[in-house]
């Protein structure tokens, strides 16, 4: 095995062992204040994926958000982490239940429905 291959293998191993930040985030349309609240087990990856889908016009989850992104441009939106989960020492921890409970609290607090946001009440 070459040094380059060994370096790549080690880099992959380190990446897989790195705990990614999980939590609740908002995507805010700055001119109107409308927000989308959601959660993710990997916040940076989620931001990248959403941005790419919105930029390419393939984000189908919330058509009004896609429409506003296209009409106003990406510089009129801001991604913000609202709350990050602190992973326990358990290596097999799955953040899903904790994220859903946390998202429910934020949805109740912010009420991002109708004119206030992009979430739909049935998503709760």
Residue-wise pLDDT for 95-110, tens only, equals 788 899 999 999 999 9
The pTM (predicted TM-score) of the whole model is 0.80
Give residue-wise pLDDT tens across range 9-46.
Answer: 877 777 666 668 899 999 999 999 999 999 999 999 99
- Could you tell me the sign of the dihedral formed by the alpha carbons of 49, 50, 53, 58, in that order? positive
Cα gap 49→59, rounded to integer Å: 9
Q: Which segments of 45-86 are extended strands (E)?
A: 77-84
Half-sphere exposure of 101 toward its Cβ, with a 13 Å CA cutoff? 5
Distance CA 47, CA 102 (A): 18
Q: Which residue ranges form the domains of the chain, and what is each CATH number?
A: 23-123 (3.40.1440.10)
* Chain-centre distance for alpha carbon 22: 9
């Amino acid at each position: 095995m070459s040094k380059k291959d060994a370096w790549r293998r080690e880099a992959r191993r380190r990446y897989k062992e790195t705990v990614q930040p999980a939590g609740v985030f908002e995507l805010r349309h700055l001119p109107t204040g409308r927000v989308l609240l959601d959660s993710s087990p990997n916040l940076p990856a989620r931001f990248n994926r959403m941005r790419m889908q919105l930029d390419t016009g393939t984000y189908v989850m919330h058509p009004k958000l896609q429409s506003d992104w296209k009409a106003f441009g990406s510089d009129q939106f801001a991604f913000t982490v609202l709350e990050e989960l602190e992973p326990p020492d358990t290596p097999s921890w799955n953040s899903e239940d904790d994220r859903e409970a946390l998202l429910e609290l934020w949805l109740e607090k912010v009420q991002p429905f109708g004119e206030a946001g992009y979430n739909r009440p049935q998503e709760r």
